[in-house]
Amino acid sequence: MSGPDASEPVRPRVAVVGAGIVGARAARELISPGADGRPGASHVSISTRREERRDQLRATFGASVPVLWQTDRVDGSDSRGPADVVLVAREPREQLEVVSAALDAGSHVVATTDDPEEVEAILRLHPRAVAAGRSVIVGVGLSPGLTCLLARHAADLLDTVDEIHVARDGAAGPACARQRLRALRGAAQEWRDGTWVRRAGFSGRELLWFPDPVSARDCYRADLAEPLLLLDAFPDVTRLSARLAASPRDRVLAPLPVLVGPPVEGGPGAARVELRGTRDGRREMVVYGVFDRPGVAAAALAAVLALRAAAGDVAPGSHGVAASVDPRPVLAELARRGVRAAAFDPA
């Protein structure tokens, strides 16, 4: 009687906690055929706290993905025990509890939050993750997330990296849109010459170019997580900043409370990452851009990273995307799934 083929890829059990735009799309990505024509995960479940969303997704997924009602247990485990990977796709500011519980249960974790305080708290779980031999990847979205991956790829083209500047446009869904306005009215953190500098949100207007059809947009400082995650991956850089594309209408809406309605996918978005440094003794600049629906890019990246964590390709600890994985195979798999980035001509 022969045992399992050692060459067979790991097909983990993945629990998706949170059933908004990103969570539902991530579940679909996890059951879609991989490069070998087989689903990447052996079992995928998704859980929600909204009864109407549960019924909607049960009609959508049928028997392929069990749609569960979230109870007091938020660690992604079920009657068979803990999941191999828990993919946390709740609204920002509601993910830390799930990440901590899933880590204690013995699961790897992929967290999509982009709230700076929550990201910082999850990064502080690093000693616990190392002690447990589990990996936690935080800030997994279009930006932060894909931009961090592109920053790592661009850094490999340079001998030294002095500056990294990120900007993005768009939101995956209502919860992301609320977080975006919250960021614009907050105080931005920028890393300058070894110290954090606080700047007012909606300041520092800069005209930046994104991939067509988004093209040029006015971008502003905001309270974003990208600098925290990039400093964790690039501790020697002297300058880090992140901006959001915004309009005069956003300035009016930013101070107002935003109610989160049913999950409705946002329109197309874009992101760019700019690195400055040296190559062969000369000053160089590398600029990458990506255009896609933020929910599509975030879900694809989250699914790919969940599978890589389960396969043992991510070292134990808690980090952002740039400090967690080799960017080349991840970008290749994202391109196979339809999410592609491109290089800009710095001129």
Range of lowest pLDDT (44-53, 143-152, 223-232, 245-254): 245-254
Q: What is the CATH number of the domain that holds 46?
A: 3.40.50.720
* CB 129, CB 325: distance < 8 Å: no
Average of per-residue pLDDT across 197-206: 93
pLDDT band at 272 (very low <50, low <70, confident <90, very high): very high
* Rounded CA separation 144/322 (Å): 10
Considering the domain architecture, whether residues 246 and 198 belong to the same structural domain is answered as yes
Q: Within this chain, do residues 69 and 58 fall inside the same structural domain, yes or no? A: yes
Q: Does residue 2 form part of some domain?
A: no
Please indicate, yes or no, whether residues 152 and 201 belong to a single structural domain of this protein.
yes
Confidence at 9, pLDDT banded by 50, 70, 90: low
With respect to residue 253, please indicate whether it lies within any of the assigned structural domains.
Answer: yes
- Do residue 251 and residue 128 come from a single domain? no
Instruction: Please determine, for residue 143, whether its predicted confidence score (pLDDT) is greater than 80.
Output: yes
Q: Does 49 share its domain with 130?
A: yes
CB neighbour list of residue 200: distance below 8 Å, 6 or more residues apart? 187, 188, 221
| Structural domain for 79, as ranges | 13-141+297-332
Read off the pLDDT of residues 283-302 as tens digits, 9 standing for 90 and up.
Answer: 999 999 999 999 999 999 99
Whether the CB-CB separation of 144 and 115 falls below 8 Å is answered with: no
At 262 the pLDDT is: 57
Report pLDDT digits (tens) over 164-183: 999 999 887 787 878 888 88
pLDDT band at 79 (very low <50, low <70, confident <90, very high): confident
How many structural domains comprise the chain?
Answer: 2
Range from 103-112, 184-193, 244-253 that averages highest in pLDDT = 103-112
Best CA proximity match to 322, nearest among 243, 232, 247, 260: 232
Q: 29 with 96, same domain?
A: yes
Which of 7-11, 56-60, 296-300, 306-310 shows the lowest per-residue confidence on average (mean pLDDT)? Answer: 7-11
> What tokens were used for 264?
């409705």
Q: Is the pLDDT of residue 347 over 60?
A: no
- List of residues 6+ apart from 228 with CB closer than 8 A: 116, 119, 120, 123, 189, 320
Contact 284, 347 (CB under 8 A): no
Q: What CATH number is given to the structural domain containing 252?
A: 3.30.360.10
340: in domain: no
Does residue 347 sit within a domain?
no
- pLDDT (tens digit, 9 = 90+) per residue, 20-41? 999 999 999 999 988 778 788 9
Contact criterion met (CB below 8 Å) for 163 and 239: yes
Q: Both 222 and 317 in a single domain?
A: no
| Chain mean pLDDT for the chain | 91
What is the model's pLDDT at position 4?
47
User: Counting Cβ atoms within 10 Å, is residue 245 exposed (0-12), middle (13-18) or buried (19+)?
Assistant: buried
How far apart, in whole angstroms, are the C-alpha atoms of residue 292 and residue 296? 7
Reported as a pLDDT band with limits 50, 70 and 90, residue 78 is confident
51, 61 contact by CB (below 8 A):
no
Whether 323 has a pLDDT exceeding 50, the answer reads yes
Question: For residue 346, what pLDDT is reported?
Answer: 58
